[in-house]
Amino acid sequence: MAVPIVISTALIVWASRVPARVRTAADAKRIGRLIGTWTVVQGIAIFATFALSPKLGIPDAAVPILAIIVGLHFLPLARGIPMPVY
């Protein structure tokens, strides 16, 4: 249990030393649209998962699919937000 805690602490310390880039108003607006768009896409995908999985005969797969959706939605955010840590 100590290994993940040490690794997480080291990553947090390393990430806090990386200087953040100054954002302009245009950057903030673009990032806000990006987050909003992918949050809506994620919400629709989650709704579709819970609506369709019972109809497809795989109700037990809904939660693992939900986890995959939540994980995947971070990929476009990481590419679109100008932070080296992401």
The domain spans of the chain are 24-86
- What is the model's pLDDT at position 42? 94
Q: Amino acid letter at 78? A: A
Where is pLDDT greater, at 27 or 49?
49
- What is the model's pLDDT at position 56? 94
Name the H helices within 1-86: 2-17, 25-52, 62-72, 74-80
Q: Is 61 helix (H, G, I), strand (E, B) or coil?
A: helix
Q: Is 83 helix (H, G, I), strand (E, B) or coil?
A: coil
pLDDT 10s digits, 29-56: 888 898 899 999 999 999 999 999 999 9
Average pLDDT score over the chain: 87
pLDDT at 86 over 80: no
Query: Cα separation of 85 and 29, whole Å?
Result: 20
User: What is the CB neighbour count within 10 angstroms for residue 85?
Assistant: 12
Q: What is the mean pLDDT of residues 16-34?
A: 80
